[in-house]
Amino acid sequence: MAPRTALPYTPEDADPATLPTPGLRRRFAAMLYEGVVLFGVLMVSGLLFSTLTDQRHALQGRLELQGFLFAVLGLYFAWFWVHGGQTVAMKTWHVRVVRLDGRPLGWRGALARYALSWMWFLPALGVAGALNLHSSGEYALALLAGMAAYAILTRLLPDRQFLHDRLCETRLVTWRPAPRRR
């Protein structure tokens, strides 16, 4: 595990490949904040979809809506990761995604990371479906158990990165911008 830095900011000449990995608490805080931001993004996107398609009932065009929201999320994350390596939540919590060599992600890498990040949820949802779980409480419990198992997996991986980051050859680093000069 890389040593934690005591600097209040990241020097401009720092090599991102050598920066420390943020702790799990910070990464989860960023994820929670990201959920709040995404609530608004998905609400506006859903409204746009329902207006453009003249959707009159929530189940009408449900699969198309899910596909549209999946694409919106993919574009949201990929755009931010390609343009600076940080979403709004990641900036707030001083987390940045970079390639293993420290360079920024390109579109192909960002979209691959987005697709593989669904590993947080899909295995648990598959197990819930295979066990024929019906209630939302059972689904939520299966989802939380799967997410906890995925998070614990970071303890076994080098540099405590997530599995999808290892597979995409990316890593999360602690990144604090230098204070603005007046």
Q: What is the pLDDT of residues 21-50, one digit of tens each?
A: 999 999 999 999 999 999 999 999 999 999
Q: Which residues pair with 95 in a beta bridge?
A: 174
pLDDT digits (tens, 9 = 90+) for 41-75: 999 999 999 999 998 887 888 899 999 999 999 99
Closest CA to 117 of 70, 65, 84: 70
Inform me whether the pLDDT recorded for 7 exceeds 60: no
| Residue-level pLDDT at 77 | 98
Indicate if the pLDDT at residue 18 is higher than 70.
yes
Q: What is the pLDDT of residue 125?
A: 85
The DSSP symbol for 165 reads H
* Residue 136 phi, psi dihedral angles, 5° rounding: -65, -30
Provide the whole-model pTM.
Answer: 0.85
The domain spans of the chain are: 21-174
- Please check the confidence at residue 160 and state whether its pLDDT lies above 80: yes
Per this entry, what is the length of the chain? Answer: 182
Instruction: Yes or no: say if 106 and 171 are a contact pair by the CB < 8 Å rule.
Output: no
Distance CA 69, CA 75 (A): 10
